Amino acid sequence: FGRVGLVPPGERTRTQQEITDWLNKKLSKMPDARTIASQEQTISGGGSGARNALPVQYVIQNQNFEKIRQVLPGFFDEVSKSTVFQGTDVNLKFTKPELRVVTDRDRARDLGVSVADIAQTLQLYYSGGRMDYFLMNGKQYDVIAQVDRANRDQPLDLKSIYVRSSRGNLVQLDNVVKVTESSAPPSIFHFNRYKSATLQAGLAPGKTISDGINEMDRIAKKYLDPTFSTDLSGPSRDFSESSSSIFFAFGFALVLIYLVLAAQFESFIDPFIVMLTVPLAIAGAFLSLWLFDQSFNIFSQIGIITLVGLVTKNGILIVEFANQRMEHGLSKYDAIIEAATSRLRPILMTSLAVVLGVVPIAFALGAGAQSRVSLGIVIMGGMLFSLVLTLYVIPTMYLIMAPKTHRDPDVEPDEENVELKPVESH
């Protein structure tokens, strides 16, 4: 690994992402080396090397290692050619040379050589096993049987090895064995107790981790049979777990706010009207992400959860004030119109205060702020979108759903709002 530090954003004209993309284009022109430029992960749940890991990490698993060996080259080649990824790697590399020695049993039987003698001869020549020991000057020394390295480095060295047959003759070893050259990985990896291979990939400009995982799933369906299983690791696993829990957190926030409002309003209808601001804010958040070409990541998920509490404040101001005006004798229509009009200023002040507060985040002001842009974009877009529509949707739904009367017996009606009817004389 090589680490390159950048000068502060104010002293350079390109962003970190632009520099990474430029480096990958340059490095891709080096055919004799596999080089990948990647950015450190802003949020990492792994160990010391997790921050340097590529964002997409896809694990293929099988109990039969030979099946992994067969499908991995095609799978990796397809990943390397995909336009979703930029820079790929795999941890399972078959770079260790290996000789496979298989006994020709028919030939050995004809020459009177047993398989056990062949195995014992190979063990004596190559294993370096402990045969005995001796004592010298009060110290114990092991006796290790092994051929010198210079005589056992090449496959042709097998011609110099002889094994004694049952007839007492010396038979050249390569006459009774077949030798094939192959390659093997320096180590075999396991994931959840299964033999595995982990493919890593960087993301092309404009692509998200979700796009990368979906592309890996597509390739897996093409190359893997039902005996394989797949999993995620590193940043991809963190993203998948956070994405699955976001729905629970979002739903829990909605239920909690609804129950608190129901207790405060002493009604199940008014909290529901207030909660109608949430879909408006969510729509504005996703629209803003699309307009500013931002991804739906962990920061935007945090922003959406935050929006649930921020935007309901606008609905509370309108509905609570309308209820108070109805308690003083106003009709439902007059009460909601007056509430929307008189609460406009507080709604504008509080909403704009929140929007202006996240401007530095949304515009990536400061070092390291680029990764948190989506958080500011979500809050800004959601607040502004719901601010405009809340003034129309909440009064409309209040007229439709709220009860016609909302009188408090302890509150006297406003005299100026009480309509006097003439009394008929008989």
Distance in angstroms (rounded) separating the CA atoms of residues 255 and 390: 20
Kindly state the DSSP code that residue 276 receives in the 8-state scheme. Answer: T
Burial class (CB in 10 A: 0-12, 13-18, 19+), 221: exposed
pTM of the model: 0.64
Kindly state the DSSP code that residue 404 receives in the 8-state scheme. Answer: S
Distance in angstroms (rounded) separating the CA atoms of residues 348 and 278: 17
As a CATH number, domain 267-417 is 1.20.1640.10
pLDDT on residue 420 = 45
pLDDT on residue 99 = 80
Distance in angstroms (rounded) separating the CA atoms of residues 275 and 394: 9
Q: List, as one string, the DSSP characters of 369-380.
A: -GGGHHHHHHHH
Residues of the chain falling short of pLDDT 50: 47-49, 409, 411, 415-421, 423, 425-426
Distance in angstroms (rounded) separating the CA atoms of residues 286 and 300: 9
**Closest CA relative to residue 220, chosen from 34, 82, 53, 54:** 82
Provide the 3-class DSSP secondary structure of residue 414. coil
pLDDT on residue 1 = 63
pLDDT on residue 214 = 92
**Closest CA relative to residue 198, chosen from 93, 313, 355, 49:** 93
- Count of Cβ atoms closer than 10 Å to residue 239 Cβ: 22
Pairing type for strands 130-136 and 139-144 reads antiparallel
* Per-residue 3-state assignment (H helix, E strand, C coil) for 241-263: HHHHHHHHHHHHHHHHHHHHHHH
Kindly state the DSSP code that residue 6 receives in the 8-state scheme. Answer: -
Residue 74 corresponds to which amino acid?
A: G
Domain ranges of the chain: 97-184, 267-417
Distance in angstroms (rounded) separating the CA atoms of residues 45 and 322: 48
Kindly state the DSSP code that residue 114 receives in the 8-state scheme. Answer: -
CATH number, domain 97-184, options 3.40.50.12280, 3.30.2090.10, 3.30.360.10, 2.60.120.650: 3.30.2090.10
Distances (CA, A) of 253 to 21, 163, 279, 307, 393: 39, 78, 14, 10, 22
Q: Copy the structure tokens of residue 401.
A: 């759903």
Q: Copy the structure tokens of residue 346.
A: 């507080």
Provide the 3-class DSSP secondary structure of residue 184. strand
Provide the 3-class DSSP secondary structure of residue 176. coil
- Count of Cβ atoms closer than 10 Å to residue 34 Cβ: 12
Distance in angstroms (rounded) separating the CA atoms of residues 88 and 212: 12
The reply to whether 97-184 and 267-417 are identical in fold is no
